[in-house]
Amino acid sequence: MKEREQEQVREQVREEIREEVPSREQILVMRNIMDNQLETSDDIEIGRVADIEAELRPDGRLVLTRLMTGPEALAGRISSRLRPIVHFLLRNRFEHGIPIDEIDGFHPTLRLRGRAIDYSTGESERWLANHIFRWLPGSGWKEWHEQLEQSGTGTAETETATEAETRTEETRAPGHAVRGSAVASHQSKHHSH
Amino acid sequence: MKKVFAIALGIVTAIGGFLDAGTVATSGEAGAKYGFGLIWAVILATIEIILLVEMVGRFTAVSQKTYADAIREKFGFKFYLFPLASELIAESLLLAAELGGVAIALSLLTGISWHYLFPVAAILVLILVWSASFDIIENGPALLGLVTLSFLVGVILLGPPKLSLLQTLWKPPIQQGQFADYLYLVAAILGATISPYLLYFYSSGAIEEHWSGKSLLLNRVTAIVGMGFGSIGSLALLILSAIVLRPLNMQAGTLGEIGLAMAKPLGIVGGYLFAVALFSTCLGAALEVVLAVSYNVAQGFGWEWGQNQKPVQTARYYAFMIVFLLVAVIIGLLGIDPLQLALFASTVIALFLPVSLSPFLFIMNDPAYLKDKTNGWFDNTAIILILLIAFAVAVVSIPLEIITGGG
């Protein structure tokens, strides 16, 4: 009974959060999103939000469009001067964007609609597993691989990884993209003046 | 009954897991050089770690977030880099020292030079972190570490100390020119006992063991009773060194020398008990350091993590662990004496304590994480005092390192 009551309270709180939080298009709350944990629908933690991308719409609204992950996005958080250096070294191979439509609710942990295999974020984990750990005894690779094969996701990772990321590209209204880290940097300079 | 068992196990493992190469080194040297004159530092450090461990356990049980999660989410990536960098530097040194401690313990038992046994120690740690579950890693060495209670037996067998030694409790025998060395040991004792890796490990362990709001009693008892009694081993070793080594003008310059303090009351058995105690405490600490830093990195970057999952499911976490262990092995293979390395690592930890501990003041008062379990005035006052002490220690530790030549 107590557990049922607790579950009811939790559901009530979730409902209140859903009502309080404005629609996705009105959100640009860096503090609430930046650095949050990203978790997929199959309960896999694939990384954290390193940066956000927003678009300045013709009507003047700033709309959140993508969550960015990866070392290149993180470099921009440390210093705007570091970003082009890291970009040059990594050749844009490790920056991943997750469309905002993929977020299933804005909570301390951001839950994504897709499975881990649907996103290129976290691909390094799969690469390590498939190319290095598979040869190490006791890694559990065989059982893990069999499980993936049974669920039908064994080898199709690179084909599906970018599907989610490009899905909403076609539906987005045209606008001017800005990065959250750049906005924050601009605001801090503005305040210091 | 299950709850009672969990509490008992928590206390026992906290007792057995309290000591490590750092605390053995600092307690041994403190007793040999200054008699009972640094007991106050050990007690102060113990009180501080009890408070910090209780807080971090409470935080994780209620919020279901680890300490590293909170630092990244609340303070952002830029700030997170500071405690991360300090941990990577300090704990790689400490891990090398712990591996050295394991090697020396094996050397005491087998007679083979610790230099040859160092890689053996590293391989043992690698095998355990690769294949053992969290329960085995946490409880195994800690249960074996109960052998440290033999230090207390040694103290009892030696009988009451002489009055001249007892007086050092309130009047430390600091000779001219030794004050810097005395303060250096204070810094080392604080750094050895209040090691941030304990907080990251304890916090992550609470998630591994599925703690919740119902685990607050277990957390409090483990922190207070477990850590409190755990310091008995540290204090007993200090007292043993004071009674046995100090009159012989032995400075406890090596871990083996500290072991001689057990030989007087217990003979050859005492020597073996010290070796077993050193082995289990250093092995346990090495495992905790490796896991703590790996937890920190994985949680900070949002990777999958956990000892109860297969390596292939948490590939980045395990890959980092292996690299970190390798770095520590490279440091250890430089041949620096593990005791000196442990002392140095402890003061480096002390230097970075303010960076590692300052987030506590904010996260422990955040109702978004802790709901109605935020800190009261006592805990907040304690954190501020701990931070002030940590800051003072940090400020003096670098000059002391230079003046004393690292002890």
Alpha-carbon distance A138 to nearest alpha carbon in chain B (angstroms): 7
Task: Write down the mean pLDDT value for chain B.
Answer: 90
**3-state SS, residue B400:** helix
Task: Check B81 against A136: CB less than 8 A apart.
Answer: no
With an 8 Å Cβ cutoff, are B302 and A46 in contact? yes
A172 touches B at CB < 8 Å: no
- pLDDT score recorded for residue B406: 57
Mutate to test the interface with B, among A45, A115, A134 (most CBs of B within 10 A): A45
Please answer yes or no on whether A78 and B65 come within 8 Å at the CB atom.
no
CA distance A110 to A73: 18
| A115-133 pLDDT tens trace | 988 898 888 898 999 999 9
- Listed in sequence order, the residues at least 6 apart from B38 whose beta carbon sits closer than 8 Å to its beta carbon are B30, B31, B172, B182, B185, B186, B189, B238
A4 falls within a domain: no
DSSP tag of A71? H
Residues from chain B that touch A34, judged by Cβ atoms under 8 A, are: 76
In a domain, A158, yes or no: yes
Look up the ipTM and state it: 0.83
Contacts of A126 in chain B (CB under 8 A): 315
Decide if B68 contacts B208 (C-beta within 8 A): no
For residue range B173-182, what is the model confidence (pLDDT) as tens digits? 988 888 888 9
At A26 the pLDDT is 45
- Which chain A positions have a beta carbon within 8 Å of B214's beta carbon? none
Tell me if B316 and A144 make a contact (CB, 8 A cut-off). no
The first and second tokens of residue B377, run together, are 């005035």
**CA-to-CA distance for B272 and B278, rounded, in angstroms?**
10
Measure the CA–CA gap between B224 and B325, rounded to whole angstroms: 31
3-state helix, strand, coil in chain A (%, to 5): 50, 20, 35
Q: Which has more confidence, B387 or A183?
A: B387
CB contact under 8 A, B76 and A138: no
The answer to whether residue A149 neighbours chain B at the CB level (below 8 Å) is: no
A16 located within any domain: no
What are the b/e assignments for A126-162, b being 16+ CB within 10 Å?
Answer: bebbbebbeeeeebbbeebbeebeeeebeeebeeebe
Q: What is the pLDDT of residue A1?
A: 53
Give the one of B65, B72, B303 whose C-beta lies nearest to A125's C-beta. B303
pLDDT for res B307: 92
Least CB–CB distance from B311: residue in A45, A77, A140? A140
pLDDT tens by residue, B57-108? 999 999 999 999 999 999 999 999 999 999 999 999 999 999 999 999 999 9
Q: Is residue A62 part of a domain?
A: yes
- A-B C-beta contacts closer than 8 Å: 73
pLDDT along chain A (193 residues), means of 10: 62 57 51 87 92 88 89 87 85 84 83 90 88 92 85 51 45 53 49 39
Q: In Å, what is the CA distance from B141 to each residue of B15, B151, B221, B250, B259? A: 11, 17, 20, 30, 19
CATH of the domain at A28: 2.30.30.240
Number of structural domains (chain A) is: 1
* Helical ranges in B167-215 per DSSP H: 179-193, 196-208
| Domain of A107, in residue numbers | 22-192
